[in-house]
Structure 1
Amino acid sequence: MKRALFEEDHELFRDVAQEFNAREIAPHYTQWDRERIMPRSMWIAAGQQGLLGLAVPEEFGGAGMPDYRFRVILDEEFARANHLGAGLALHLHDDMVLPHLLAYGSDELKQQWLPGMVTGEKVTSVAWTEPGAGSDLRGVRTKAVRDGEDWLISGQKTFIGNGISSDASLVLARTDGSTGRGGRDSFSLFMVEKGPGYETGKQLDKMGLKASDTSELFFDSVRVPESNLVGQAGQGLRYVAEQLPQGRLAIAVASSAVARTMYEATVHYTKERNAFGERIIDFQNTRFELADILTEVEVLETYVDRAVVTFNEGQLDAVSAARVKLWASERVKLITDRCLQLHGGYGYILEYPIAQAFLAVRLLSIFGGTSEIMRETVGRHIAR
């Protein structure tokens, strides 16, 4: 059944995304997964195909396509090709860093970073979380202090996707000189380039999504020019809160895409696999399970698609984004688990996409704010 969400231009873009996955990623992805990092050549190829920085205006080298449905297509094709690590890497670059530069960056900062982000010549990461500050960003201790016309940034970050492969990080740092849990005006955002004092720590070995490199970062009096301040000093947390809906919508979109892909893979598997002289799908329990899963997948898609339309209209608020992220990220875990069960022993073998997806989706209810934080966000809104 054709999705009402998409129009002809989106389906033409799907052809481009499919061709990119087949030509540029599929031949190498197993190696990248093993090495736990993707080469710069992947980013350059994505840029040449027009898959990066879709929302970047033409004046900065982009396609000027803020319609989020194109990003949905991209996520669906990464999921269908089982290249979830690549999808995560692009999400950090396009859904986390880019919106802050577009919304708050000066023309100078945009000119410095956006063209390279579009071509893949400049890869970015988000450096917000720390060993003692995950979902609660007011616990961030990395500090930035003025030194003449510059800032000196010192501190430690962890769980940083693209931390090794990136050229710069969007860093959240304390700028009011306080200690303890900071206030709303205590933090600022900076684009921090790799250079003296900027050290990449050990590569973290995740349970899934291995092709997307993740590491610790250390900053020791890294000198950052005033021009690399994103927006105004003291407004970092406000900016993060304002752009969270897109980041959380992206996680919901990825959840929906994986759910659909794993359902379809399971239908195919149960039609091909025999047991006791019959196809697995010919057992009543299998058909009942698949009927339930299909219903859940379609309900999930409908909910996420509605959120995408709302986002395109500029109406997706933080609470609505928290709800859709909560539902989608929790639901895909259950759907993937049920699909894995129908694969039997093969579902436990890592060369099968269902096993890889089972490990990958476990991140989705943690990343971008845990499910507990999503419930608290929604719950506080209800209690107002």
Structure 2
Amino acid sequence: MTARYLQEEHHIFREAFRKFLQKEAYPFYDVWEKDRLIPRSFWEKMGENGFLCPGVDEAYGGLNADFAYSVVILEELERVGSSLVGIGLHNDIVIPYLEEYGTEEQKKRWLPKCITGEIITAIAMTEPGAGSDLAGIRMTARKDGDHYLLNGEKTFITNGIHADLIVVVCKTDTKIKPAHKGISLIVVEGDTAGFKRGKKLDKVGLHSQDTAELIFEDVKVSSANLIGEEGKGFYYLMQQLQQERLVVAIVAVTAAEEMLKQTIDYVKNRNAFGKKISDFQTVQFRLAEMATEVEIGRTFLDDLIDQHIQKKNVVKKVSMAKYWTTDMARNIATQCMQLHGGYGYMEEYEIARRYRDIPVASIYAGTNEIMKTIIAKEMGL
């Protein structure tokens, strides 16, 4: 079944993007994983071919494309490998803050280079002592004339090593109650004095995705780098998190589809006790159950994407999708590895990598426990 939001032009775009990835990504992905970094040259090639920030207005060099193009990009990147998640973060999570709340001067200064891949973006929310509780952040930005002085640390920052432009969540007012009213968004450029990158974090999975610690010591930033209004940062975050969590659900369902497909191919070709593994009824039942779960996830997801494109408020359903699809994908990974037998534990089989990569999806963009809290609140509980 084809999703309602996909038209002929989206299918043509998908084919073009697949051809690009067959040439520029698939042959090199294992090397990137071993090197523990996706090269900047790949970002630049993405930009040269029009695959970065497709939704940005033509006035800044974008295509003014609808979100369905982003969905296609997210799905096809995930089919290559989960470590490409940083591109989705750049396209569909960070750039919308600049588009929605940035000034005309900020858009002209930054967006064109974000589209070409000359600028790679990140958003710095999480701190060593504050994750899901954003109101508890300690990063400060003290006004000093026409500048801010930023001090604090951020951690688990996607694109942290490559990032040239970081949207930093910080407190411009540490005394106001409730605390979330003191949060603002300030853009820090990567070459600013006092800004340092910590080590590239050594993760269980997503090996080539550059996740890092960021350190800010009296970082002097022009007040012209404030996004939107001072003190409105928390509200901006809440408005944009619907799309961020939808992005995670898109990636999770695509990963589950890929793992199931690979496992079906494997059991059809692997023999045991004189017949193919796929001939055993217990294996057939397990695959039938997984296929059903994946199909349910895909159907729910496609409907949500359609509603999101129509700009409907689907916060509750997106929270449901984010937690359910990521839990589902993690369960699929476990079962698919089991059906691969001993080979599933070998690095030469892709399922081993998928098994490592998928668990973090239930943690980032708000843990699944937070998703359930949001759902309960939306239910009036």
TM over 0.5: yes
What aligned pairs does 1:149-160 form with structure 2 within 5 A after superposition?
149-160=146-157
2:31 aligns to what SS in structure 1? helix
The number of residue pairs the alignment matches comes to 380
What corresponds to 1:201 in structure 2? 198
2: CA distance, partners of 1:110 / 1:320: 31
Matched, 1:49 2:49: yes
2:168 aligns to what SS in structure 1? strand
2: CA distance, partners of 1:273 / 1:281: 8
Instruction: Tell me, yes or no, if the aligned pair for 1:139 and 1:182 is still in contact at 8 Å.
Output: no
Per the normalisation by structure 2, the TM-score is 0.97
What corresponds to 2:231 in structure 1? 234
What corresponds to 1:85 in structure 2? 83
Query: Counterpart amino acid of 2:291?
Result: L
Distance 1:337 1:5, change over 3 A: farther
1:47 aligns to what SS in structure 2? helix
What corresponds to 2:338 in structure 1? 341
2:181 aligns to what SS in structure 1? coil
What corresponds to 2:181 in structure 1? 185
1:348 deviation in Å?
Answer: 1.1
1:319 deviation in Å?
Answer: 2.2
What corresponds to 2:141 in structure 1? 144
1: CA distance, partners of 2:167 / 2:92: 12
1:2 deviation in Å?
Answer: 4.3
Instruction: Tell me, yes or no, if the aligned pair for 1:101 and 1:110 is still in contact at 8 Å.
Output: yes
1:91 aligns to what SS in structure 2? helix
Query: Counterpart amino acid of 1:221?
Result: D
2: CA distance, partners of 1:148 / 1:3: 52
2: CA distance, partners of 1:9 / 1:378: 35
Instruction: Tell me, yes or no, if the aligned pair for 1:56 and 1:64 is still in contact at 8 Å.
Output: yes
1:364 aligns to what SS in structure 2? helix
What corresponds to 1:271 in structure 2? 268
1:161 deviation in Å?
Answer: 0.8
1:125 aligns to what SS in structure 2? strand
- Amino-acid identity (%): 39
2: CA distance, partners of 1:352 / 1:5: 34
What corresponds to 1:292 in structure 2? 289
Task: Decide which moves more: 220-229 or 239-248.
Answer: 220-229
Taking only aligned residues, the RMSD between alpha carbons, in angstroms, comes to 1.4
Instruction: Tell me, yes or no, if the aligned pair for 1:16 and 1:49 is still in contact at 8 Å.
Output: no
1:351 deviation in Å?
Answer: 2.4
Matched, 1:210 2:193: no
1:56 aligns to what SS in structure 2? coil
Instruction: Tell me, yes or no, if the aligned pair for 2:53 and 2:92 is still in contact at 8 Å.
Output: no
1:128 deviation in Å?
Answer: 0.7
Matching residue within 350, 356, 359 for 1:359 = 356
Instruction: Tell me, yes or no, if the aligned pair for 2:3 and 2:302 is still in contact at 8 Å.
Output: no
Q: Deviation string for 1:102-133 (max 9, x for gaps)?
A: 11000111111111111100001111100011
Matched, 1:31 2:31: yes
2:379 aligns to what SS in structure 1? helix
2: CA distance, partners of 1:317 / 1:301: 16
Query: Counterpart amino acid of 2:15?
Result: D
1:380 aligns to what SS in structure 2? helix
Unaligned runs of 5+ in 1: none
What corresponds to 2:70 in structure 1? 71
Matching residue within 353, 372, 376 for 2:373 = 376
What corresponds to 2:316 in structure 1? 319
Unaligned runs of 5+ in 2: none
1: CA distance, partners of 2:261 / 2:349: 14
2: CA distance, partners of 1:123 / 1:117: 6
